Structures are given as C-alpha cells and as structure tokens.
C-alpha cells in the first residue's frame, strides 16, 4: 500500500478516513496483512479477529459515507487480552482462560466500539498482568520489534510491540505498577496511564484493584488524547470510577504552550540508571527548558520503599482477585480429581504459571493472621506516606519527570531467574499507581539502537497538562517517529 499507512498516526488515520483518502476496509486489510507477515516473529497477538474486523470495517465505511461517523470511526486498534470482549476469546495470557469466550464487553471496549474503532485482535500479555517483560504468558513471550532477542516490556508487551511494529495503529493496555509505561519505553511508543478511577475497570480482569488502570499504547500523545476522550468517564458499574467530566483532551493539548515547573527527582539518577539512558532523559529535559519550562530538583524520600509496598499490596489484592478461577463456572478445570480439595488444587495448579503462583502465595502470606499488621497494614500506611509526599511535591511543581526505566530492554530470559531483580526494575513507575496519579512515557532516545523513555507524572485528574507537555515534546522531537529496523514498509 503506497499510502505510507505505517507512517501515519491514529489521528492522521482518523482524519484520512473522514477525508476519504482510504477506506476502513483498506486500512483493516493492510494491518491484517502486516499481522500475517510479522506476528510470527514477535508474537504480539493471541487472537486475530479477522472476519469480525472486516465486517466492522465495512460498517464503518458505510457510516463514513453517510456522514455519521464518530471520532474513531474506521480506525483499527487492538485490545490487550485482559479486556473482556463479547463473543471473543479473552485469555489474560493464561492457560486458566485459554477456553474462555467472554459473554460481555468491557466498558473500555464498548466505548471505543461506540466511538467507531475497529478491533483487529487481542494482544499478548504477561499472565494476568503479572510481569514486566511479557515472558510469563501461556502463549509464549513477545519479542521486541527493535531486537527480537529482547523483551518488549510488560505486562502490556503485546500491545506495545504491536503498535511499535505497526501491526495496528493503537492498542489498549493496563498499568498497575508500570505495565503500560515500561513496555512503551522499551518498545519506543507512547504509553499513558490515567488517574486512578478515570477510566472504568468494569470488564478489565482485575489484578490489583486499587492500582489497576486502563490506558493506551499509541505512536503519539495526540493519539492517546483522542483515545482517552472516548475511553474515560464515569461508569456506574465501577464503584471506584470517578464522577468527573472528561475534558476535551484532544483540543486542549493543541492550546498554546503555558510555562510550567517540572520537578526531577534527583534520586532517580542513581547508580542503577544506565548512563546513556540518563543522558537521553537529560537531553529531553533540555527540550522542555527550551519550550520555557522551569526544571527543578526534587527528592523522593520514600522512593526505595515503593517497590516493597507495591509487592505487598498488589499480590495481596491479586491473591484474592484470582480466587474466582476455580474451574466451576468457566475456565480451565482439572480432570480426574478425587475430591473437592484436589479439584481446587489441581485446577489452579495446572491453570496458573509460576509467577502468578508466586504472587498468590506472597499475597496470601502478607494477609495471613499474624503477618497482616506487619506487612499488609504497614504497606498501606507507607503507601499513604508515599502519596502524601507526592501531594506535597505537586504543590511546588506541575509535573514530575525522569526516566521510565533504569535501562533499555533486557534480553529474554535474562531476569527470569531472579524475580526480585525484575521487581526492582519497576522502581520509577511504581510510585504513580500507588498514589493514583496519571503518568506517561514518551520515546526520548535510542541507546545502542534500543528505545528509552521519558516519564512524566502529573497530579490527580491533570491529564490535560500531562498530555499537552508530551505533545509539545513530540512537536520538537522525532523519537516517536522512528520505526524498528525491518518494519518499515519499504523493507518488507
């Protein structure tokens, strides 16, 4: 297809469709062909919904012709396989749900469908969103399009890789401790996690309920703004959903630049951070200075405690959330069991992978009598301290900035033997979900040919400022336009 589709952002595709530059069916076929061509190498998709996508595309073309289109009509996107999609397999990257066809659509799925988006498939992910490398999936690891021997990040690795390799223009993801931002950084795309409660969790299979948020993996912040406008908003089916109006993000980020103060935590820049990665981030900050922002050093006293807090709270909630997977009403069920006890143990033993089991055990442990106070309760208290600290800092700065990850993507298999080492990689991204803050990652450089990301964090419900800063950064830079070698159309 000579129209250089793979160079177009979601925003441009939506416009192009409305202007009749191409049809939704053409676009959809284009992406489906790329998926056929490349998915074998990167394993970004668990399910490709070919027939449904073509049908939806045809309907979209009719709507476009009739002038009855929405903001996303005809644009092909993918959903992380953690979102329930009616009539379509929803696996959460797990054997436990390998045979599960969801009878309902998640609110996020429904809203994007109502806005006109076409779903081409469900993307691969760490099992039940537990992981930072997309290596724990029952369906095999996802390979980073930038280097197939490396991880794309996780748990939304499939979504990040699919967008990076232009198998789809955008994808949904979920972020609990960094699962959108970290894969965005590793894969060279833009990943946005909104304020807790901004986007409905109904239909998004729960990992850690007080941390989970649905968000986007896209090429640009502008694309993210467009998607979020349709995704966000109060949902009465989700008690934790915020009853706040959704700003017109897309228009808002195009408003004139307003100066702001950006705080940079000095303790992000410690020995753990790869020097080239650090440099890329520092260079990125200079762009903001050029735009007129004031850069200010801040210090996060509780940074080191954020990882332990997360690895108490998240597994605790997850251990309970995953109890419903018992083979009674849906999902994997073990055969040849002699009694009820065996039924539970074997079904869950067979259905869950090692990392999920580790987290369930950890979670059960920290909630158990005798340990609850020392671990769970204490973690929730430290969480309050972490949150208070962020609130104090946001009274002095408008945004926080820093690296998204300590290094670029590591090799597949490199960290699987050492879970704690893997966990410590989340150090920069874990704070925002603990405090419920919105945060994003944008590509800000290449280190030895691998993307690295700049993270921005804002205060509650300040997505507009967050997205706008990222958008203006992307107007000044072109990191987000880089395509992984081998994925540029002309090289097919």
Which of the residues are catalytic? Answer: 80, 155, 179
Choice from 21, 419, 446, 488 touching other proteins (CB under 8 A) = 419
Asked if 320 touches other proteins (CB under 8 A), the answer is yes
Instruction: Say how far apart CA 118 and CA 363 lie, in whole Å.
Output: 38
Cα angle at 55 between 51 and 59, to 5 degrees? 170
Min separation Cβ 436 and other proteins, Å? 3
Residue closer to other proteins by CB (options 29, 210) is 210
Q: Using H for helix, E for strand and C for coil, what is the string for 206-227?
A: CCCCCCCEEEEEECCHHHHHHH
Distance CA 84, CA 82 (A): 6
DSSP string computed for 254-288: TSPP---EEEEEGGGSSTTS-HHHHHHHHHHHHHH
Which lies closer to other proteins via its Cβ, residue 166 or residue 415? 415
- What are the start-end ranges of the H helices in 368-462? 378-394, 419-424, 431-435
Span near other proteins by CB under 8 A; candidates 157-165, 256-264, 266-274, 356-364 = 356-364
Is residue 317 within the footprint of other proteins (CB under 8 A)? yes
**In the numeric block, which tokens belong to residue 225?**
């703004």
Binding to other proteins by residue 372, rule CB under 8 A?
yes
Looking at 65-73, 230-238, 261-269, 470-478, which segment touches other proteins (CB under 8 A)?
230-238
CA–CA separation, 192 and 115 (whole Å):
19
Q: Which is nearer to other proteins, 62 or 236 (CB)?
A: 236
Residue 326 touches other proteins, criterion: CB under 8 A? yes
Q: Among residues 491, 410, 490, 434, which one has the least CA distance to residue 149? A: 410
Contact pick of 73, 134, 137, 362 for other proteins (by CB under 8 A) = 362
Contact 280, 482 (CB under 8 A): no
Q: Which of residues 268-307 bind other proteins (CB under 8 A)?
A: 304-305, 307
The site for other proteins, by CB under 8 A, has a size of 95
* 269 vs 365 by CB, closer to other proteins: 365
Q: Which is nearer to other proteins, 203 or 403 (CB)?
A: 203
Cβ nearer to other proteins, comparing 349 with 485: 349
Q: How far is the CB of 460 from other proteins (least distance, A)?
A: 6
Q: Is 328 in the site for other proteins (CB under 8 A)?
A: yes
**Least separation, in Å, of the C-beta of 491 and other proteins?**
40
Q: What angle do CA 398, 401, 403 make, to 5 degrees?
A: 170
Of the candidates 14, 44, 46, 84, which one interacts with other proteins according to CB under 8 A?
84
Of the pair 206, 264, the CB lying nearest other proteins is at: 206
Q: Is residue 438 within 8 Å of residue 457, measured between CB atoms? A: yes
Q: Which is nearer to other proteins, 196 or 394 (CB)?
A: 196
In which element (H, E) is residue 171 found?
strand 170-175
* Cα distance between residue 104 and residue 107, in whole Å: 9
Distance (Å, whole) CA 196 – CA 210:
8
Q: Which is nearer to other proteins, 211 or 264 (CB)?
A: 211
Q: Which of 255, 340, 395, 490 binds other proteins (CB under 8 A)?
A: 340
> CA 290 to CA 318: how far, in whole Å?
44
Q: Name the strand (E) or helix (H) holding 114.
A: helix 107-114
Q: Structure tokens of 464?
A: 């507009």
* Positions in 232-261 near other proteins (CB under 8 A): 236-240, 242-243
The least CB distance from residue 94 to other proteins, in Å, is 10
Report d(CA 50, CA 72) in Å as an integer: 19
* Burial class for 152, CB neighbours closer than 10 Å (0-12, 13-18, 19+): buried
User: Judged by CB under 8 A, does residue 368 bind other proteins?
Assistant: yes
Q: Which of residues 5-64 bind other proteins (CB under 8 A)?
A: none
**Which one of the spans 118-126, 258-266, 269-277, 311-319 is the region binding other proteins (CB under 8 A)?**
311-319
Tell the smallest beta-carbon distance from residue 197 to other proteins (Å): 6
Among 21, 308, 407, 475, binds other proteins (CB under 8 A): 308
Taking the complex as a whole, how short is the minimal distance between the CB of residue 101 and other proteins, in angstroms? 6
The interface with other proteins within residues 422-481 (CB under 8 A) comprises 423, 433-436, 460
Structure tokens at 221: 């912040």
List binders of other proteins among 157-216 (CB under 8 A): 195-197, 201-206, 208-211
Helix axes 107-114, 221-231, angle to 10 degrees: 110
Is 375 an interacting residue with respect to other proteins (CB under 8 A)?
yes
> Which residue among 10, 14, 17, 97 contacts other proteins (CB under 8 A)?
97
| 126 lies in the binding site for other proteins (CB under 8 A) | no
Q: Contact with other proteins (CB under 8 A): which of 3, 52, 63, 104?
A: 104
Instruction: Determine if 414 is a binding residue for other proteins (CB under 8 A).
Output: no
Q: How far is CA 311 from CA 149, 239, 375, 406, 431, in A?
A: 28, 24, 10, 18, 12
């Amino acid at each position: 297809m000579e129209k250089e589709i793979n160079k177009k952002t979601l925003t441009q595709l939506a416009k192009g469709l409305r202007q009749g530059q191409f049809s939704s069916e053409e676009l959809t076929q284009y992406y489906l062909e790329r998926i056929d061509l490349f998915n074998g190498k990167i394993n970004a998709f668990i399910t490709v919904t070919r027939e449904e996508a073509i049908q939806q595309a045809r309907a979209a073309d009719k709507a476009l012709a009739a002038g009855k289109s929405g903001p996303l009509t005809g644009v092909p996107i993918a959903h992380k396989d953690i979102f329930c999609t009616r009539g379509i397999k929803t696996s959460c990257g797990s054997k436990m749900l390998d045979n599960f066809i969801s009878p309902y659509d998640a609110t996020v799925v429904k809203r994007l469908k109502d806005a006109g988006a076409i779903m081409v498939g469900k993307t691969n992910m760490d099992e039940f969103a537990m992981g930072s490398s997309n290596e724990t999936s029952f369906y095999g690891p996802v390979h980073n399009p930038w280097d197939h021997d490396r991880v794309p990040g996780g748990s939304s690795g499939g979504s990040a890789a699919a967008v990076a390799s232009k198998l789809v223009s955008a994808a949904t993801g979920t972020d609990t401790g960094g699962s959108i931002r970290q894969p965005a950084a590793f894969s060279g795309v833009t990943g946005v996690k909104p304020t807790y409660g901004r986007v409905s969790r109904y239909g998004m299979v729960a990992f850690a309920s007080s941390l989970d948020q649905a968000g986007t993996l896209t090429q640009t912040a502008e694309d993210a703004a467009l998607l979020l406008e349709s995704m966000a908003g109060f949902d009465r089916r989700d008690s934790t959903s915020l009853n706040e109006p959704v700003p017109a993000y897309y228009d808002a980020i195009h408003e004139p630049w307003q100066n702001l103060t950006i705080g940079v935590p000095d303790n992000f820049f410690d020995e753990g951070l790869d020097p080239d990665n650090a440099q890329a981030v520092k260079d990125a900050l200079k762009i903001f200075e050029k735009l007129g922002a004031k850069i200010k050093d801040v210090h996060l006293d509780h940074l080191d405690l954020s990882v332990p807090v997360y690895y108490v709270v998240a597994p605790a909630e997850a251990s309970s959330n995953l109890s419903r997977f018992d083979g009674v009403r849906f999902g994997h069920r073990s055969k040849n069991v002699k009694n009820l006890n065996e039924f539970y143990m074997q079904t869950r033993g067979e259905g869950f992978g090692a990392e999920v089991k580790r987290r369930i055990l950890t979670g059960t442990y920290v909630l158990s009598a005798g340990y609850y106070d020392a671990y769970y309760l204490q973690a929730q208290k430290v969480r309050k301290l972490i949150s208070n600290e962020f609130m104090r800092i946001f009274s002095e700065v408008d945004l926080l900035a820093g690296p998204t990850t300590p290094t670029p993507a590591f090799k597949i298999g490199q960290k699987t033997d050492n879970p704690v080492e893997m966990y410590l990689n989340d150090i920069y991204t874990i704070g925002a979900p603990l405090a419920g803050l919105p945060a994003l990652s944008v590509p800000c450089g290449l280190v030895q040919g691998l993307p690295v990301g700049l993270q921005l964090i804002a205060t509650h419900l300040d997505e507009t400022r967050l997205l706008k800063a990222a958008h203006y950064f992307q107007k000044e830079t072109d990191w987000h336009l880089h395509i992984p070698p081998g994925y540029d159309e002309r090289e097919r």
